[in-house]
Amino acid sequence: MEAYKILTYPDPFLKIIAKPVTLFDEELQEISERMIQTMYEGIGVGLAATQVGVNKRLFVMDVSYNKDLPESERNPIVVINPKIIEKADKQAGEEGCLSVPEFRADVERYRQVKLQYRDLKGDLKEMDAEDLAAVCIQHEIDHLKGKLFIDYLPPLQRNMIKKKLKKRVE
Ligand code: NI
């Protein structure tokens, strides 16, 4: 299976609001598998469908990912139509993003969230997450709303990063 190409800022697709998934079919399974592969190749802990040009409300994550771990011990999850139903305890922490290469910055997020989502079979699930997993969930849901972590930064810092990223693609 070939990995997806990861879109980077300022690709306009990163701004779309992803469509909810209504069909839990084989195609969705294939997209998810390909996204998981792309996430591992990109050495990221999460990847949203919008980052690979797929207009679906879906992301994959594996916060325990370690590149030295054998493939058989990986434990990725596929999160479809996610919704945060409880949140608590804000704190700032450093984030990066495969779509914003080479930049990291502090972003304030909830430290604990309760997530409701559907799995690949379409079954409704709930997950309690904290720390890195909670941050990852909020970061990926933002992607599905067309939002990047740099959008939270003060204008001066944000514009500086955006300018540098635009230069990369020129
Ligand atoms: Ni990201």
What CATH number is attached to the domain comprising 34?
Answer: 3.90.45.10
Tokens in use for 84? 């945060």
Q: Which candidate, 95, 87, 112, places its Cα nearest to that of 153?
A: 95
Residue 145 corresponds to which amino acid?
Answer: K
pLDDT in tens, 31-44: 999 999 999 998 88
Residue 16 corresponds to which amino acid?
Answer: I
Q: Ligand 1 centroid to 50 CA: how many Å?
A: 10
Q: Ligand 1 centroid to 97 CA: how many Å?
A: 4
Q: Are 78 and 43 in contact (CB under 8 A)?
A: no
Q: Is residue 3 part of a domain?
A: no
Eight-state DSSP code of residue 63: T
Q: Which candidate, 31, 78, 24, places its Cα nearest to that of 53?
A: 31
| Domains of the chain: total | 1
Q: Give residue 37's domain range.
A: 12-169
Q: Where are the beta strands (DSSP E) in 62-156?
A: 77-95, 105-118, 124-130
- Indicate the pLDDT class of residue 73, thresholds 50, 70 and 90: confident
Residues in the chain: 170
Q: Is residue 5 part of a domain?
A: no
- The pLDDT of 90-119, averaged and rounded, is 96
pLDDT in tens, 122-152: 999 999 999 999 999 999 999 999 999 999 9
Q: Are 6 and 52 in contact (CB under 8 A)?
A: yes
End-to-end CA distance of the chain: 30
- Indicate the pLDDT class of residue 108, thresholds 50, 70 and 90: very high
Q: Ligand 1 centroid to 143 CA: how many Å?
A: 7
Q: Are 41 and 68 in contact (CB under 8 A)?
A: no
- The pLDDT of 72-85, averaged and rounded, is 94
Q: Is 140 a catalytic residue?
A: yes
Q: Ligand 1 centroid to 126 CA: how many Å?
A: 22
Q: Is residue 4 part of a domain?
A: no
99 CB burial (10 A radius; 0-12, 13-18, 19+): buried
> Does the predicted TM-score (pTM) go above 0.85?
yes
Catalytic residue among 26, 30, 140, 170: 140
Q: Is residue 131 part of a domain?
A: yes
